[in-house]
Each structure stands twice: as C-alpha cells, then as structure tokens.
C-alpha cells in the first residue's frame, strides 16, 4: 500500500492498548470451534496471540501482502514460541492461489475496506471457506475519539471535525485505488451481495477511560501528530490545525502531554457470515 508514512507502528500501539477489546472479540469469534483459521490482512498480527491462546488445538495462519506488517507479525509470533501452530505468510486477498484453503474460519478485520471492489474481494475470500466454514469481517463501528468537546482553545468540537477530515482522507485514498468500485450500501448488504449469509453482527467497545496511561497518551499524541502532518491535514481548516499545534506543544500545560481528560473510545463491528445452504 502506498502511504505517506508507515501505519505499522500506529497499529502496533493500538494493538498494545486493545487487550480487553481483542479478548472480547476473540471470545465471540470462538476460534476453538474451528480446526483451521486464516487471518487475512493480519497487519502486525495483533489478534494472533489472542486466537492462539483461545484455541490451542487450532492451526492458525496470519497473512498480509505488506512486508513491513509481515516482519512485525513474524517477530510477535516468534516471541510467543508457539511452534508451527501459528504461521505468518505472505498472502493476498485477491490472489486465490495464496492460502487457497479451505479454511474453517477466515477473519478479515479492517482489510476489506482497502479492496478496490469489496464485493468481488469478499467473494474471493468466501471461496477459501470449507462448506460449513465461517467468514468474520470486521468493518465499521464508531470512529475513535480521544479529546473532550471543550479544550479551552479554538472552536469546541475539534474531535468530530478530525473524524470528518479522516473520512475525507479515506474517501480520497479509495479514489486513488486502481479501478475502485464505490459501494452504495452498508457492510451487511455488501456481504450479502458477495453471496454470504450474515448470521450475527456485534460491535465491541475500545474503551480506555481518562486519565490514561503514559502509553495511551503517547498513542494519542502520535495519532494527533499524524492528523497534523499526514494526508488528513488538507481536510482541516487553519484554525483547527493551529489548535492541534497548540495541543501538541510540549510546553503547553493544557496540551496532550499534561491533560488529565484524554481518553480512547471507539467501537468495532464484526459480522459472522456463512455460505448459503446448498
Ligand atoms: C488497517 S490494517 C488492519 C490490520 C489488522 N487486521 C487489524 O485488525 O488491526 C489493514 C491490513 O490489510 C492489509 N491488506 C490490504 N489489502 C490486502 C490484500 N489485498 N491482501 C492482503 N492484505 C491486505 C494491509 O497490508 C494491512 O496490513
């Protein structure tokens, strides 16, 4: 993927702060009910330790098409000493030859939104399922907030304007894909269009309340820094950019390094899908 900066450290920081979220999602996914699992678009592999822990007899493959993500996932898995129970491999959701399966469970979290034609891509993932297999797709939910409405500087409600700017960046990113197909519907309909039966949908909170740990504070700082210096900046007006600079000023007693009212709150939606009964 062409990004203006690497997203891998940002995703790894998210992973480290998401233990409760990943435990809850893994309990719902129930990997132990399946003999073989593919986590496609696994990124730096944050979910793999939770899957492995919950399903000691399941063979798990994490796959991604990005080398930096694969290196990070491989180091993480190596540190867990799980032997060949968890493998990390190069794989492309759009290449039916990579990890052809069949798998009893395929997980694709925050991956399908990268695909130029999501319906087609999901159909290709469904083709890797065993006849009674399940596909878990993680997409949508609620945008993640970290700032209170009133900051004491600039126009109130900066967080919702950052979310709007982030949505605009995402739309711009999709437009730059080769032959993007714009979806006209939400994910349940997209999944049905790919020939899947949506059995159950559940959303999980990412909830790190104030006051946050140093690790969460560092993550919030780097997220805001990316908004200020990355592709999102073009969708922010100068007043909001100046407020971000004020927040990121280490000498500011009301900046992110000192505030006691920072938090992390978001939600991730998971869809459990089956193949239609034949
Ligand atoms: C936002 S990250 C999500 C990582 C992880 N699944 C998570 O939930 O944190 C999206 C990942 O999907 C991968 N990806 C995007 N398109 C892909 C494709 N066609 N095949 C394999 N991986 C892909 C990217 O390289 C990236 O690591």
Best of 15, 37, 65, 94 to mutate for ligand 1, by most ligand atoms within 8 A of CB? 65
- Please tell me the total number of residues recorded for the chain in this structure: 278
Q: What is the pLDDT of residues 91-100, one digit of tens each?
A: 999 998 999 9
| Rounded Cα gap, residues 74 and 36, in angstroms | 19
| pLDDT of amino acid 278 | 75
Mean pLDDT of the chain: 95
Closest C-alpha among 71, 52, 70 to residue 60 = 52
Beta bridge partners of 109: 138
Q: What DSSP state is assigned to residue 34?
A: -
Which is the closest atom of ligand 1 to the Cα of 39?
6
Q: Is 96 near ligand 1, meaning CB less than 6 Å away?
A: no
Q: Is 134 near ligand 1, meaning CB less than 6 Å away?
A: no
Q: Is 11 near ligand 1, meaning CB less than 6 Å away?
A: yes
User: How many CB atoms within 10 Å of residue 20?
Assistant: 13
Q: For residue 110, how far is its CA from the centre of ligand 1 (angstroms)?
A: 7
Beta bridge partners of 40: 63
Q: What is the pLDDT of residues 217-266, one digit of tens each?
A: 999 999 999 999 988 999 999 999 999 999 999 999 999 999 999 999 99
Q: Is 42 near ligand 1, meaning CB less than 6 Å away?
A: yes
For ligand 1, atom 4, which residue shows the shortest CA distance? Answer: 43
Burial of 50-60, coded b for 16+ CB within 10 Å and e otherwise, reads bbbeebeebbb
Q: Is 137 near ligand 1, meaning CB less than 6 Å away?
A: no
For ligand 1, atom 20, which residue shows the shortest CA distance? Answer: 92
Q: What is the pLDDT of residues 109-159, one digit of tens each?
A: 999 999 999 999 999 999 999 999 999 999 999 999 999 999 999 999 999
Q: What DSSP state is assigned to residue 213?
A: P
| Rounded Cα gap, residues 139 and 196, in angstroms | 15
**pLDDT category, 29, cuts 50, 70, 90?**
very high
**pLDDT category, 6, cuts 50, 70, 90?**
confident
User: How many CB atoms within 10 Å of residue 192?
Assistant: 15
Q: What DSSP state is assigned to residue 2?
A: -
| pLDDT of amino acid 26 | 98
Q: Is 125 near ligand 1, meaning CB less than 6 Å away?
A: no
Q: Is 46 near ligand 1, meaning CB less than 6 Å away?
A: yes
Question: Which class is domain 8-274?
Answer: alpha beta
Best of 45, 111, 135, 139 to mutate for ligand 1, by most ligand atoms within 8 A of CB? 111
| pLDDT of amino acid 219 | 98
Closest C-alpha among 155, 163, 170, 269 to residue 224 = 163
**Alpha-helix residue ranges (DSSP H) falling in the chain:** 8-16, 19-29, 48-54, 67-80, 118-126, 158-175, 187-193, 214-229, 238-248
| Rounded Cα gap, residues 265 and 260, in angstroms | 15
Torsion angles phi and psi, residue 235, rounded to 5: -100, 5
Q: Is the pLDDT of residue 1 over 60?
A: no
| pLDDT of amino acid 12 | 97
Closest C-alpha among 180, 191, 174 to residue 108 = 191
More confident residue, 83 or 224: 224
Beta bridge partners of 273: 135, 198
Q: What DSSP state is assigned to residue 230?
A: S
Q: Is 113 near ligand 1, meaning CB less than 6 Å away?
A: no
| pLDDT of amino acid 40 | 98
Q: For residue 240, how far is its CA from the centre of ligand 1 (angstroms)?
A: 30
């Amino acid at each position: 993927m062409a990004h203006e900066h690497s997203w891998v450290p940002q995703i790894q920081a998210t992973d480290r702060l998401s233990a409760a979220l990943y435990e809850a999602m893994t309990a719902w996914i129930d990997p132990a009910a399946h003999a073989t699992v593919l986590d496609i678009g696994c990124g730096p592999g944050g979910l793999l330790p939770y899957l492995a822990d919950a399903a000691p007899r399941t063979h798990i493959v994490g796959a991604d098409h990005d080398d930096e993500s694969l290196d990070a996932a491989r180091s993480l898995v190596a540190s867990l000493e799980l032997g060949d129970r968890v493998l990390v491999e190069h794989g492309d959701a759009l290449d039916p030859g990579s990890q052809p399966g069949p798998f009893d469970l395929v997980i694709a979290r925050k991956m399908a939104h990268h695909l130029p034609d999501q319906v087609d891509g999901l159909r290709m993932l469904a083709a890797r399922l065993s006849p009674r297999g399940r596909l878990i797709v993680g997409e949508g939910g609620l945008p993640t907030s970290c700032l209170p409405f009133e900051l004491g500087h600039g126009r109130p409600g900066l967080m919702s304007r950052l979310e709007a700017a982030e949505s605009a960046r995402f739309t711009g990113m999709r437009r730059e894909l080769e032959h993007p197909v714009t979806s006209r519907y939400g994910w349940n309909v997209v999944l049905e269009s790919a020939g899947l039966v949506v059995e159950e949908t559940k959303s999980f909170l990412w909830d790190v309340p104030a006051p946050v740990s140093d690790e969460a504070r560092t993550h919030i700082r780097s997220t805001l820094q990316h908004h200020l210096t990355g592709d999102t900046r073009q969708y922010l007006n100068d007043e909001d950019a100046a407020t971000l600079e004020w927040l990121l000023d280490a000498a500011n007693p009301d900046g992110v390094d000192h505030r006691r009212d920072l938090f992390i709150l978001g939600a991730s939606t998971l869809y459990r899908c089956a193949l239609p009964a034949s």
